[in-house]
Amino acid sequence: MVLDELLSKRLVILSGKGGVGKSVVGAALALAARERGKRVLLVEVEAAHEAARYLGGRPSGGAVHEVLPGLFTLNLDPAAAMAAYVRSTVRVEMLARRVLASPLYHRFFAAAPGVPELITLGKVMMLEAETTGWRARPRWDLIVLDAPATGHGLAFLKVPLAASRAVPVGPVGHNARRILALLRDPERTALGIVAIPEEMAVVEALEFHRLASEDLGITPAVVFLNECHERRFTPAQEAAVLRLAAQGTTGALAPGVSLPAALAAARRHLRRHRLTRFYQARLRRALSTPLVTLPYLFRDDVGLDDVRLLAERLEAA
């Protein structure tokens, strides 16, 4: 099963075009892991609207927060992660405060390419290695990282590779190589791509899959096709919808619901279902990577029950 494979890892990274429901899929994956008894941390990066709201919890506020027993969230702020790195490096708090207050430091952090991304991934690496108790057991059984959207997501993941080549010696280069080793380790890390059955989302998913494999040396483990319009009518019902619409049938389906409006909604669903099947077939033809389909939820205000439904679908995939 796909979920068995994903949950055998220590880190699952999700990326995809903006607006494809990546955060909801991440929340569902985290919930599915939690339902199996795992201690899970869902990590986002500078999320304006945190995934904790899908799980019935409050925003983490930049600190690890338990939204459900065994399920924690964290909204990573690269600036805060950088400040923590400075403190861990300098060690003397007075000197660390002087560095952090320096205009030169702020100009460097704002202008140096890849520094926020490298520090953020370094923080994720530290979380993955974190232990607890006298037996030094891993604090987290699974970390789900909701990475930036596709284009930014690829650049985000390429930073350790670029840094490891640009800085052959010293702590920065050493940490970059450690991060890259974690990302490329198929025993510890899995990369998932999230798309929806629309042209640009599928094109970006295919391109991201290619570039991740060719440029990063990371073969994506799964593609999630989210917001799929699944079949709601029998073939006979579909034929009846098309026939009645073509005849221009009038009347009421129920009080306050006109038959033409209901037929128009049904036809829209049929078109979306055909598109869903088309893009499913396209992804399966183009990739050998496992494809997991998740249903369209028909609501904007996603809540815990909706995430639980998606988690159940992941469990059945």
Q: Which residues of the chain have pLDDT under 50?
A: none
Q: What pLDDT score was predicted for residue 112?
A: 56
Strand partners, 11: 143, 189
Q: What is the pLDDT of residues 6-33, one digit of tens each?
A: 999 999 999 998 889 999 999 999 999 9
Domain 2-230+290-316, CATH among 3.30.479.30, 1.10.8.50, 3.40.50.300, 3.90.1170.50: 3.40.50.300
Residues composing the chain: 317
Look-up of token digits 């038959």: 259
Q: Could you say which DSSP state residue 298 is in?
A: S
Q: What pLDDT score was predicted for residue 109?
A: 57
Instruction: Decide the pairing of beta strands 222-228 and 189-195.
Output: parallel
Q: What is the pLDDT of residues 103-150, one digit of tens each?
A: 755 665 565 557 778 888 989 999 999 998 888 899 999 999 998 876
Strand partners, 191: 13
φ, ψ of residue 59 in degrees (nearest 5): -60, 150
Positive or negative, the CA dihedral 154, 107, 101, 48 is negative
Strand partners, 230: none
129 touches 5 (CB < 8 A)? no
Q: What pLDDT score was predicted for residue 124?
A: 92
Q: What pLDDT score was predicted for residue 78?
A: 76
The closest of 31, 28, 55, 26 to 43, measured between CA atoms, is 26
- Cα(276)–Cα(225) distance, rounded to whole angstroms? 9
Q: What pLDDT score was predicted for residue 77?
A: 82
